[in-house]
Structure 1
Amino acid sequence: MEEVAGTVLVGDSFDPVSGRVVVEDGRIEAIEETGTDSTDIVLPAFVNAHTHLGDSVAKEAAVGLSLGEAVAPPNSLKHRRLATADRGDLVAAMRRTLRFMHRTGTARCLDFRESGPAGARALRDAAGPVEFDPFIFGSGDPSVLDIADGYGASGANDDDFAEERAAAAERGVPFAIHAGEPDATDIHPALDLDPDLLVHMIHAEGEHLSRVAADDVPVAVCPRANTVLGVGKPPIRDLLDHTTVALGTDNVMLNPPSMFREMAYTAKHFDVTATEVLGMATRAGAEVVGLDCGVIAPGKRAELLVIDGDSDNLAGTEDPIRAVVRRATGLDVARVVR
């Protein structure tokens, strides 16, 4: 049995409770409200809802490039680098990124892994020695689902993906697809595939939002990457008013996969509250693929982030949720409990 004490952000609404989280056999046994001398802030570890870990081999290589030049299949800089990368170098680079994510408070990520079955295997190998379990959305032939946890499609304008969608449905695993990143033309075709997750939706309009709400399709947004690529700003307020919205960091080649940076950027540039952003960075990503984490509640997996509330950066902050979302950095992480 382990006890994690401090100001605990409890439940779906992250109510601040002075007390401790009791952990037994990897699960939260109880949250006990009691006085404590600890200045730590205890919250769910982050779930990064959209990553591309493969391009860890090409960090900052796409500076100044457009979306098509940087990451679009099949001939962008990213795909050329992935095609020529030595497998050992690729695995080592992804492993370093996973270690960075763990040290900065992320316990899970939903990764779109390029390069078919070989790419999915490479990520499994990268995660093996690391205290991290990525949820892999595989690509290419549907046989990738023998290795991956779900299927991740590039976009409905690239292919019809009907066979891949059917294969995912047959196996009972999620099907995710990019939509509305360069423009709105692929949003309706993506929704026609009955996806379990849409990624980006920058150019979503009223008709798209109505379909998303009617079909209860969650969306992952990546506002920092969208800014770097110059493709626009996702309508996060409108999306939140229609469906579940999760937060991701997108391509490692474009930005470090820091959920602290993503949260602060989102909170300061969009019409959202700090509580909403924290939910996007934790609970929402877990809900999208049925992970049993993302919330501090009895029975949930104990995947917790402990932040030093008395660090030089955070000492004196008046609201623990705003402190975590708008101000905290990886330097404030005391430990990650898994």
Structure 2
Amino acid sequence: MKSLTCHEKVIIEANVVVKDSFDVIEKAFIRIEDGYFTEIREDSLNSSGCLRYKAKGMLMIPGLINSHTHIGDSFFKDFGIGKSLNELFRPISGLKHRLLSSAPENLIVKSMRNSVFDMLRCGITTFADFREGGKRGIELIKKAIKGLRIKPIILGRPNYYFNEDDVVKNYEMPEDKIREVEEILEICDGIGLSGPNEYTDKAMRELSRLAKRKKKICAIHACEDKSSMDFSIKNFHQSEVGRALRNFNPDFIVHLTQAKEEDIEIVSKANVPIVCCPRANSILGLGFPPIVEMMRKGITIALGTDNVMLNSPDLFREMDYTSRILRALERDPSAVSSEDIFKMVTINPAKALKLDKEIGSIEEGKIANAVFIRMNTKNLESTKDPINTLVHRVRPDDIRAVMVNGEIAYGSLPKY
């Protein structure tokens, strides 16, 4: 039996959800070395003289991954509910962009930091944020997360949008904006565009080329609103999805709320993951994404909480809402399984972000990101199925601790 050195940690007697099959090992012993899971076993480990955490009675699950956020609008939560997507978010003229342009930076940063801490409190250890504001927007989020143990995937964009006439005329991206994108890609993880209707085909191809050359992520919103779909079909004789796939070559697409059968088919053939934001779509009156249809076509689905101004960044609420609405819409309680839904906040987003070798499940060799849930709370006592419970019943106040890279990032665990 391997002896432990003092830089190692051992989790003792946790009921741990392992691999992407979500098998539960009861009263397991988990070794963590240098921020990685190195051993998971049912019998005890020699942990003498090392840091030992007692997790008896707790459910240990993978750190959750929030696949799509906009935390920049955290400083005006719940303002604008009842307004349309275009009224709130249209680039430059929308309410959000007007408020962002006039808000003091210290307020924006403080509010973003509060939202990031709230994500940790909700068991989120990784999040992918679409950053507006060009290079300065990226600098602000880095300032907001300083000192917090959480993994941000920062997807920037140029501080530039084409008007509709120029999109149709297919102008080139201005040279100074290309240089801006090159600078942005030096300090972030990729590009996250607002949508195909704000960029020409030529511009999308150039932006994709720049990102792919640096092995960075390409992501884009598409097919969220009927009016944007109508514009694309009228002017390009193809949907936003078709334009995005053909010109931008995205690693994942956000929304697809208005997707038709042909959109789902081409996404499936392209093997591109989709990030859905059901609560955001619902509060905006946009409908509900065709998740079941996409799953039937083998598309990888992940969940995001989208704009903080409209939604709390709480994936437990997102899972619960998604599961219940899908079963209701399909009029079939077996339309999806709780395992399907839980994958949407763990291994599926890890795949979309090309991080599934590192995060998304608790396995030997992966980064030690985990959430410890107290199963003896008044809310969870007497629950009988851990995955059903995770999807439909767990709340942030049931969480005892959150671990990121093998270190406690939120809460605490009792020590032996």
The TM-score, its normalising length taken from structure 2, stands at 0.79
Partner of 1:108: 126
Tell me the residue number matched to 2:302: 246
> Which residue of structure 2 lines up, in the alignment, with residue 203 of structure 1?
258
SS at match of 2:378: coil
Correspondence 1:132 to 2:175: no
Return the offset for 1:327: 0.2
Match runs of 1:1-338 below 5 Å: 1-4=8-11, 5-18=13-26, 19-34=28-43, 38-140=56-158, 141-142=180-181, 143-160=183-200, 161-183=204-226, 184=229, 185-192=239-246, 193-241=248-296, 242-270=298-326, 271-291=335-355, 292-338=358-404
Letter in 2 for 1:12: D
C-alpha distance in structure 2 between counterparts of 1:332 and 1:72, whole Å: 38
User: Does the CA contact (< 8 Å) of 1:136 and 1:149 recur in 2?
Assistant: yes
| Displacement after TM superposition at 1:92 (Å) | 0.9
Deviations 1:64-108 (A, max 9, x none): 111111122121111111111211111111111101101110001
Report how many aligned residue pairs link the two structures: 338
Distance 1:27 1:99 in 2: 23
1:41-82 superposed Cα distances (whole Å, 9 cap, x missing partner): 111010000000100111111211111111221211111111
Q: Which letter maps to 1:24?
A: E
Contact 1:98 1:127 survives alignment (8 Å): yes
Task: Letter of the 1:172 partner, please give it.
Answer: K
Question: Displacement, 1:186?
Answer: 1.4
CA distance in 2, matches of 1:327, 1:132: 24
Q: Give 1:37 shift.
A: 8.2
Distance (Å, rounded) in 1 between the aligned partners of 2:55 and 2:273? 40
Residues 127 and 133 in structure 1, CA contact (< 8 A), matched pair in contact too: no
1:227-265 deviation line (CA, Å, top 9, x unaligned)? 000111001112222311111000000010001100111
Instruction: State the secondary structure of the residue aligned to 1:220.
Output: strand
Displacement after TM superposition at 1:207 (Å):
1.3
Q: Secondary structure at the match of 2:220?
A: strand
Compute the TM-score of the two structures, normalised by the length of structure 1: 0.97
Distance 1:37 1:295, change over 3 A: closer
User: What is the Cα deviation at residue 34 of structure 1?
Assistant: 4.2
For 1:37 and 1:208, locate their aligned partners in 2 and report how far apart those are by CA, in whole Å: 46
Distance of 1:272 and 1:96 partners within structure 2: 33
Which SS does the other structure have where 2:196 is aligned? coil
- CA–CA distance in 2 between the matches of 1:37 and 1:114? 41
| Aligned equivalents of 1:210, 1:42: Cα separation in 2 | 37
Q: Give the Cα separation in 2 of the matches to 1:134 and 1:254.
A: 20
Q: Runs of 5+ in structure 1 lacking a partner?
A: none
Distance 1:37 1:88, change over 3 A: closer
- Corresponding letter in the other structure for 1:176: A
Percent identity, please.
Answer: 36
Looking at structure 2, the residues matched to 330 and 10 of structure 1 have their Cα atoms a distance apart, in angstroms, of 21
Matches of 2:210 and 2:132, distance apart in 1: 18
